[in-house]
Amino acid sequence: MKNWRFVISSRWFGYLALVVGFAIGCVFLSQWQFDRREEAAAEVARVSANWEAEPQQLSSVMPELSAFDINNKWLPVAVSGEYLASDQLLVRGRPYSGQPGFEVLVPFELNSGRVIIVDRGWVPAGNAQDEPDMVPAPPAGQIDLVMRLKPSEPTVQGRSAPEGQVATIHLETVAGILDRSIYTGGYGLIESESPGVADSPLPYPKPLLDEGAHLSYAFQWVAFGILAFIGLGWAVRQEYRLINEADPAERERAEKRMKKVQDRGPTDAEIEDAILDA
């Protein structure tokens, strides 16, 4: 046992502390990936449950202006009213298939007098300026609209937008810009409108039913934590062999290892090296 005394040193305790700290970090990162996977699975379940549902009445699923039930995300609702086209806003920094662009937000005044923001779709950025070359106008007059509910987005610190645009669909910010009372808990992503118009913004497709690679990433972080201890054990063993290379028993074990290497013959890499050297 005395030949292992070298591990009882501040240097090896430092290595152990480093490995333990790394392993703890791996555990937290693994748990974070498990949590992300649960969130992704919940989102897939919501899309699957709500996408093909029959349109509901807005007043029954979102009775309050400021509240939103996340279980109603992507649920279609049927409303009637008029677009307030003069209050249109653009959401900047919205790519689609790798192309930069904007989402078009138009307030929609319901027959009840309440106002909800409708995302009519995506338009590309302009060729010569940081705004669209053209934004299709919404239909005028009384409209029957089917839209999918989505919650208000958070703000992004440090991100701003010029007049007539917003950085995110943060409905409290939108309400302040419009200076009117609107639904601030959620908004609608357009599904259909009647009567429609010939030219409309490009609608966003159905979200992919994909949980992502979070589960495999979680297991990878667990593996990294385990490998750190394996690596520490290997390093201890290598130093033990170096310190005790004069010990007869250790020399005998070293000779056995060398014989195994010789018995197995050269590796492919060693053969290639020999050919190159020749």
Average pLDDT score, the chain: 88
Q: Which helix (H) or strand (E) holds 109?
A: strand 101-110
Q: Is the pLDDT of residue 27 over 90?
A: yes
- Residue 234 DSSP SS3: helix
Are the beta carbons of 174 and 166 closer than 8 angstroms?
A: yes
Peptide bond into 154 cis (omega under 30): no
Q: Is the pLDDT of residue 187 over 70?
A: yes
Q: What is the pLDDT of residue 259?
A: 67
Q: What is the pLDDT of residue 74?
A: 95
Rounded CA separation 145/78 (Å) = 6
Between strands 186-194 and 115-124, the pairing is parallel
Q: What ranges do the domains of the chain cover?
A: 1-51+209-263, 53-194
Q: What is the pLDDT of residue 270?
A: 63
Apex 129 CA angle, 124 and 130, nearest 5? 65
In the chain, pLDDT over 90 holds for what percent of residues?
Answer: 59
The whole-model pTM stands at: 0.74
User: Lowest-confidence range among 11-20, 34-43, 226-235, 261-270?
Assistant: 261-270
Give pLDDT tens digits for 76-104.
999 999 999 999 999 998 999 889 999 99
Structure tokens at 6: 């070298």
Distances (CA, A) of 179 to 25, 155, 182, 208: 47, 18, 9, 36
Q: What is the pLDDT of residue 5?
A: 79
Residue 162 — pLDDT band, cuts 50, 70, 90? confident
Q: Which residue has the tokens 């987005």?
A: 153
C-alpha closest to that of 193 among 65, 103, 106: 106
Q: Is the pLDDT of residue 265 over 90?
A: no
Rounded CA separation 153/150 (Å) = 9
Q: Is the pLDDT of residue 255 over 80?
A: no
**What average pLDDT does this structure show over 8-36?**
93
Phi, psi angles (nearest 5°) of residue 81: 165, -150
Apex 69 CA angle, 93 and 51, nearest 5? 70
C-alpha closest to that of 186 among 160, 155, 143, 148: 148
Rounded CA separation 33/216 (Å) = 9
Q: Is the pLDDT of residue 274 over 70?
A: no
Q: Is the pLDDT of residue 1 over 80?
A: no
